[in-house]
Amino acid sequence: MNLLIALIVLTIVILIHEFGHFIVCKLSRVLVEEFAIGFGPKIFSIKGKETEYSVRAFLIGGYVRPLGEDQEVDHPRALNKAKVHKRILMVLMGPLMNFVLAIVIMMGIGYFVGFGTNIIGKVEPTMPAYQVGIKPGDRIIELDGNRVFVWDQVSFYLAVHNMLYKDKPLEVKVLRDGQEYSFFVTPKYDPNTKSKRIGISPKISQKNFLNSVYYSIFATYAEIKETIYGVVLILSGKVSGSEVMGPVGIVKAIGQAANAGFKQNFISGLLNILWLMQLISVNLGVINLIPFPALDGSRLVFYLYEAVVGRPFNREKEALIHTIGFVLLLLLLVIVTFNDIKNIIMPGR
């Protein structure tokens, strides 16, 4: 059951991403030869009027294959014949659709469940926030100089502070009765949550459409920024690459979230799954914009080069670069999958 739920979640996220590429190709009159979900051997396919729609063995990605993507093709509807701004839009639309999916999901969660605002609802008397004078009703506007609009951002910036600055005070700027106040709070380790906290919790929003739109935009923005920050920390060596989760880890995480929610009731399980779906969607969108060969970000770099220089990069060299990148991505997939399995068999090591 967990595997089925995970496959449905991943398929939806990938389908939305590839549909972004696909729809721009269609609107630009570019001939799409194949729309595939997954990689590897073909499980089944359906031939449309001009596009083959296929499902492949490994549901860990997908692709849209327009005619003339990596080579010069003398056909009026080949991608290489399309204007460069249309190709740039085609590349960008995949990640953008992932962000749109995340916004829609968060909008639904905000509308039906509510969300944590940046207004403090409760201050715990034994915790650092209370001791420095932070009060219920204070609206948090900045943490360590970072603007805050919803509670997701509060959680993110607090986690970043704990990771990078250890026992240094956190600057909390609040709005109280129209006046701004700054407090310096040193997070305290809480054995119950096994994390450092300052002892505040949010006021929950009213459930209405406008609030849900507000929440979905800023919560998705916070997660995009969190994903970018995470990639930077990994590349800089400040966070271990062993913490990167692969497909096996994602399946496990989705299964755990679903089980934890369904133990309470069906709605809780569904909400947990939706929350993870939007998180995976944001991560997929951001990671695809990294300028690494075979990813959307790499193609974007080549198209921007063409737009600036006025001529395309050598097609054969570009195709070779993408092929090498794809091989490296497969190698990375093997490594993170091995790491996922090791973490399941030997957790905590």
Max CA-CA distance within the chain? 73
Structure token pair of residue 331: 């190698």
Q: What is the C-alpha to C-alpha distance for residues 67 and 65, in angstroms, rounded to an integer?
A: 7
Contact criterion met (CB below 8 Å) for 249 and 2: no
Contact criterion met (CB below 8 Å) for 221 and 278: no
Torsion of CA 21, 229, 60, 54, to 10 degrees: 0
The residue length of the chain stands at 349
Count CA atoms within 13 Å of residue 32 on its CB side: 26
Indicate left, alpha or beta for 68 from its phi (over 0: left) and psi (-120 to 50: alpha): left
Q: Which of 18, 69, 223, 318 is catalytic?
A: 18
Q: What is the C-alpha to C-alpha distance for residues 279 and 120, in angstroms, rounded to an integer?
A: 25
Backbone phi and psi for residue 189, each to the nearest 5 degrees, phi listed first: -70, 130
Q: What is the C-alpha to C-alpha distance for residues 262 and 254, in angstroms, rounded to an integer?
A: 12
- Residue matched to tokens 């929610």: 261
Contact criterion met (CB below 8 Å) for 248 and 343: no
243 catalytic per annotation: no
Distances (CA, A) of 345 to 96, 249, 340: 36, 12, 9
Cβ-count burial 145-162 (b if 16+ within 10 Å, e if not): ebebbbbbbbebbbebbb
Structure token pair of residue 70: 């990596």
Q: Nearest 5°: CA angle at 169, between 164 and 174? A: 110
Amino acid at 334: V
Structure token pair of residue 139: 């609206």
What residues are annotated to the active site? 18
